[in-house]
Structure 1
Amino acid sequence: MSGTERDEEKGSAADAVKPGAGAVGAQSTTEAALEAGAQNVPAGRTPLEIVDVRRGMFGVTGPGDTSGFGGLVRTIAMPPPSERPYGGWFDEVVDILAELLGEAGIALEDAVEKVVVDRGELTLFLTREHLRTVARFLRDDADLRFELCLGVSGVHFPHDVGRELHAVYALMSLTHGRQLRLEVTAPEADPHVPSLVQVYPGNSWHERETWDLMGIVFDDHPALARTMLPDDWVGHPQRKDYPLGGIPVEYKGATIPPPDTRRSYN
């Protein structure tokens, strides 16, 4: 085989594995990604709720993507509500919580949007107005005793309309050796979530950091202020739509521009 023929063969093989390439009528990468949430779902289970399909790496689009991952397609999906029985001690926790809420005159469905069991972990999606009440019940009831909160993390889903900001809490029961997760959402237009410092005082610094970097406002926090950025800083850098930015770096006479100003090498 001559060198020219070998080069042509390599080119044909490369074209065959390009994202979205193939026979006539083949799916595009985006279409395939959109279907990913509905694939491999057991019978009787609700398909995943797809909120976004991301391309490339680090959120860079256009000629600025020099990562080499320009063809990467990732599906961002939310798990559906789980059906009973949840398994293990999960049913017991939900039943006790429902009983405590009922005694307080609150229906379970008004406080808990959905119960998700995924990868062996229990997550309670809560409404904002009942977050503090549920946290107190989980901490104080003798059969629950989730006395330790490991902090709060902020997550930003720009395409999850009306629920763009998520606050996630990891709770641990040292008494019973259990761990679960609480999650609440808030829209970017109203990024307010009740502070849990009154229930878990150790959350003070975590809530400040989440406000600083994600912009979630924790109501009734004793001293909500920035932790890493100057007080007069505009914006919250860990949001997905925050400008990538950067500063030129000079190394041995070569200048490396910020990531969002680099040209594409594809």
Structure 2
Amino acid sequence: MQFEDIVKLLQEKLKPAVNIETDMGATPQAIIVPAAHIAQICQILQENPSMYFDYLACITALDNGFEAGTLEVIYNLYSISYNFQLMIKVSVTRNKPGEPLPSIPTVSHLWQAANWHEREAYELVGIHFTGHPDLRRILLPVDWEGHPLRTDYVEPASYHGISTYE
């Protein structure tokens, strides 16, 4: 299995509805896909016997800052059978304060590990995963306000009378 074969198969199955770009400079090589199609693409990658990406190693979310105006979710997949890694990148428009969080479909129904990774991305970066079975905070208190890994996050001076600085 080669990176180009994966891209070609996805393009054949999804065109013209989905535009798939590549990031050849990434290690491992990456495909860039529209957020609305991430679950569909991951299902193809997991179920296709010629690829069988059976292991979700990580989902990472990051804030590209005000200049870019986007948040990004990066999926690191691995096919144990074929000893092959693949990175998938999804970009969403950064929401303004008071607006609903940007949304991406969940992949937790495909890989159990996605459940916790998506909850962490929701909590720390502020990305909503539609269809997630239990999207709630796991690292901070339930009533914590904001998303600490956003570039515009301002840490409160105290939480319930306890100083957050020290």
Return the TM-score normalized by structure 2. Answer: 0.84
C-alpha displacement of 1:120: 4.7
Residue 130 of structure 1 aligns with an amino acid whose one-letter code is H
C-alpha displacement of 1:185: 1.1
Runs of 4+ in 1 over 3 A off after TM superposition: 244-247
2:7 maps to which residue?
A: 94
Gaps of 5+ in 2: 96-100, 159-164
Residue 100 of structure 1 aligns with an amino acid whose one-letter code is K
3-state DSSP class of the match of 2:109? coil
1:220 maps to which residue?
A: 131
Say which structure, 1 or 2, has more relative contact order (CA 8 Å, 6+ apart): 2
2:37 maps to which residue?
A: 130
In the TM superposition, 1:47-62 aligns within 5 A as none
Residue 87 of structure 2 aligns with an amino acid whose one-letter code is R
> Percent identity over the alignment?
26
Residue 207 of structure 1 aligns with an amino acid whose one-letter code is E
Higher CA-based Rg: 1
- What number of residue pairs does the alignment pair up? 154
In the TM superposition, 1:75-90 aligns within 5 A as 89-90=2-3
C-alpha displacement of 1:142: 1.1
Correspondence 1:107 to 2:16: yes
Report if the CA contact (8 A) 1:111-1:130 is conserved. Answer: no
The 2-side partners of 1:128 and 1:139 are apart by 17
The 2-side partners of 1:119 and 1:230 are apart by 35
Q: CA RMSD in A?
A: 2.0
C-alpha displacement of 1:188: 2.2
Return the TM-score normalized by structure 1. Answer: 0.54
Residue 234 of structure 1 aligns with an amino acid whose one-letter code is E
Gaps of 5+ in 1: 1-87, 248-257, 260-266
Correspondence 1:200 to 2:106: no
2:63 maps to which residue?
A: 156
In the TM superposition, 1:131-146 aligns within 5 A as 131-146=38-53
How far does the alpha carbon of each residue in 1:105-125 deviate from its partner, in whole angstroms, 9 at most, with x for none?
A: x427x242x211115521111
